[in-house]
């Protein structure tokens, strides 16, 4: 495709084109601990209430509220305590007791309705088993009722939630052994370029070690996708075409990096057109990553990112990540933009919105974002300190320190 035929789309329009293409999510049942970081494939309901029995919330004494309701330091209620109930007890004291020793987590059987903390009771240090209750308390105090925490049949975790330790805590409390999650997409990553080499190889003159493929694999793994990373493919049409066709067989999504611009040896668009792929877009109105292109080939989406490391990264963050999160079934799949005070000048004028690698932090409740120096598209150094991309709007002379800009965490 000739350079002039590449009409750019705005970032938002490009995203909508991606979301309009729905993939085929499939569901898989996995053991509970394997669900960590995966996306829940259906709403999860509580099979029983928690607590499932009336439970003491403090160490102390189980009483009938009516017995101690008039207790006061100057008028203590004296009760005999001869029995105890501990956590896991399945047998309870028989007969009529006014109070019973109880411990946190133990069942509170009828007729008791209230637990008094042991700090509010004086146990006589003799053989009498008498206890002096000094305060009246409230009916039901320190007793967790059945279902007080989680009632039965309640929707406890919704479909699309990414499972973290917090969700694992709830699922484990219901004795869950396995759970349905969305299957991880398999993503093929194909670096393209004659100059690229792999670690372990002696670096030839004027060559460089391939780093985008590793960065993309790391990003995909962080996201919860599986990755097949290819060895660098040389800049010739047949090698690129063969790699794309192999990836079509092996993967659900394809990402290439490099060879997508307008140079004589940038063959990606030609190859995709020769494979009769349908272009969703072949340029984005943004910097870096303007050549970012997406094709649909046999129902598979193929993302073509720039070779420049920062452009590759921005293309991934803005397009690949939201689309994969969407396909993974995550309810939150878009980058969450937020306002921050810019802490340095970005003086480079740009006809398109510019995404700048930046360091953001919250100080005294306010979000600040510092653009990193040496953020040129081909530079790597700015990766080391960056935790955000700040968005500098198109036109003008960039943005000045103190200005409020949009950013998102990376």
Rounded distance between C-alpha atoms, residue 315 and residue 281, angstroms? 13
Q: Which stretch binds ligand MOO (CB under 6 A): 28-36, 52-60, 120-128, 285-293?
A: 285-293
Q: Judged by CB under 6 A, does residue 329 bind ligand MOO?
A: no
- Under rule CB under 6 A, residue 308 binds ligand LQZAQKY5: yes
State the burial class of residue 203 (Cβ atoms within 10 Å of its Cβ: 0-12, 13-18, 19+): exposed
212 binds ligand LQZAQKY5 (CB under 6 A): yes
Does residue 302 belong to the site contacting ligand LQZAQKY5 (CB under 6 A)?
Answer: no
Residue 311 as a binder of ligand MOO (CB under 6 A): the answer is yes
Beta carbon of residue 15, minimum distance to ligand LQZAQKY5 (angstroms, whole number): 19
Is residue 308 within the footprint of ligand MOO (CB under 6 A)? yes
Residue closer to ligand MOO by CB (options 247, 311) is 311
Helix ranges, 134-211 (H): 165-173
DSSP result, 38-79: SBB-S-EE-SS-BSSS-EE-SSEEEE-HHHHTT-BTTB-EEE
Give the one entry of ligand MOO, ligand LQZAQKY5, none that residue 307 binds, where binding means its C-beta sits below a cut-off of 5 to 8 angstroms depending on kind.
Answer: ligand LQZAQKY5
Contact segment (CB under 6 A) with ligand LQZAQKY5 among 78-86, 119-127, 209-217, 334-342 equals 209-217
Q: Which is nearer to ligand LQZAQKY5, 8 or 49 (CB)?
A: 8
The yes or no reply on residue 262 touching ligand LQZAQKY5 (CB under 6 A) is yes
What residues are paired with 357 via a beta bridge? Answer: 389
For residue 232, which of 211, 246, 263, 260 has the smallest C-alpha distance?
A: 211
Pairing of strands 253-257, 186-191: parallel
First vs last C-alpha separation in the chain: 33
210's contact among ligand LQZAQKY5, ligand MOO, none, with CB below 5 to 8 A by partner kind, is: ligand LQZAQKY5
248: left (phi over 0), alpha (psi -120 to 50) or beta: alpha
CA distance linking residue 191 with residue 200, whole number of Å: 17
Residue 58 structure tokens: 């403090």
Instruction: Report the residue from 101, 183, 287, 304 that binds ligand MOO according to the rule CB under 6 A.
Output: 287
- Binding-site member from 306, 335, 358, 390 for ligand LQZAQKY5 (CB under 6 A): 306
Pure H helices in 142-204: 165-173
Count other C-beta atoms under 10 Å from residue 113's C-beta.
17
Among 89, 176, 236, 377, binds ligand MOO (CB under 6 A): 377
Q: How far is CA 217 from CA 46, 50, 190, in A?
A: 37, 41, 10
User: Is residue 288 a contact residue for ligand LQZAQKY5 (CB under 6 A)?
Assistant: yes
With CB cut-offs between 5 and 8 Å by kind, which of ligand LQZAQKY5, ligand MOO, none does residue 51 bind?
none
CB contact at 8 A, 14 and 294: yes
- Binder to ligand MOO among 134, 162, 248, 290 (CB under 6 A)? 290
Please identify the residue of the shown chain whose CB is closest to the bound ligand LQZAQKY5: 307
Give the nearer residue to ligand MOO in terms of CB position, either 213 or 288. Answer: 288
261 binds ligand LQZAQKY5 (CB under 6 A): yes
Q: Which of 289, 329, 344, 371 is in the footprint of ligand MOO by CB under 6 A?
A: 289
Under 8 Å between Cβ of 89 and 101: no
Comparing CB distances to ligand LQZAQKY5, the nearer of 260 and 342 is: 260
Given the complex with ligand MOO, which of 232 and 307 has the nearer CB atom? 307
Residues near 21 by beta carbon (within 8 Å), at least 6 away in sequence: 280, 296, 301
Bridge partners for 281 per DSSP: 294
Residues at the site binding ligand MOO, with contacts judged by CB under 6 A:
287-290, 306, 308, 311, 377
Residues at the site binding ligand LQZAQKY5, with contacts judged by CB under 6 A:
191, 193, 195-196, 208, 210-213, 257-263, 266, 288, 290-291, 306-309, 311, 377-378
């Amino acid at each position: 495709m000739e350079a002039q035929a590449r009409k750019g789309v705005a970032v938002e329009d490009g995203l909508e084109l991606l979301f309009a293409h729905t993939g085929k999510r499939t569901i898989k049942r996995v053991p509970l601990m394997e669900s960590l970081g995966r996306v829940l494939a259906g709403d999860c309901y509580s099979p029983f209430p928690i607590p499932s029995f009336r439970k003491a919330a403090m160490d102390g004494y189980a009483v009938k509220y009516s017995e101690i309701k008039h207790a006061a330091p100057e008028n203590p209620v004296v009760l005999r305590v001869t029995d105890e109930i501990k956590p896991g007890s399945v047998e309870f004291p028989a007969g009529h007791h006014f109070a019973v020793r109880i411990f946190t987590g133990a069942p509170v059987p009828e007729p008791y309705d209230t637990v008094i903390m042991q700090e509010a009771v004086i146990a006589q240090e003799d053989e009498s088993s008498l206890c002096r209750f000094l305060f009246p308390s409230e009916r039901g105090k320190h007793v967790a009722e059945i279902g007080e925490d989680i009632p039965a049949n309640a929707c406890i975790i919704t479909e699309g939630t990414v499972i973290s330790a917090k969700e694992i805590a709830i699922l484990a409390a219901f004795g869950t052994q396995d759970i349905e999650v969305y299957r991880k997409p398999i993503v093929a990553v194909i670096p393209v370029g004659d100059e690229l080499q792999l670690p372990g190889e002696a670096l030839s003159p004027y060559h460089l070690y391939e780093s985008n493929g590793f960065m993309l694999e790391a990003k995909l793994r962080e996201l919860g996708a599986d990755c097949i990373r290819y060895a660098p493919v040389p800049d010739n049409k047949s090698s690129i075409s063969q790699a794309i066709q192999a990836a079509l067989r092996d993967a659900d999504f394809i990402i290439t990096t490099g060879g997508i611009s307008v140079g004589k040896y940038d063959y990606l668009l030609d190859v995709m057109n020769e494979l009769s792929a349908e272009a969703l877009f072949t340029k984005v109105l943004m910097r870096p990553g303007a050549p970012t292109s997406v094709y649909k080939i046999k129902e598979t989406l193929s993302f073509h990112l720039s070779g420049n490391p920062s452009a590759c990264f921005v293309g991934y963050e803005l397009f690949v990540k939201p689309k994969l999160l969407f396909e993974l079934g995550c309810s939150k799949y878009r980058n969450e933009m937020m306002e921050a005070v810019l802490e340095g000048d970005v003086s480079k004028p740009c006809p398109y919105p510019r995404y700048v690698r930046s360091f953001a932090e919250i100080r005294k409740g306010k979000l600040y974002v510092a653009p990193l120096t040496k953020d040129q598209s081909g530079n790597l150094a700015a990766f080391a300190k960056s935790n955000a991309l700040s968005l500098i709007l198109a036109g003008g002379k960039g943005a000045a320190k103190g200005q409020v800009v949009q950013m998102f965490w990376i």
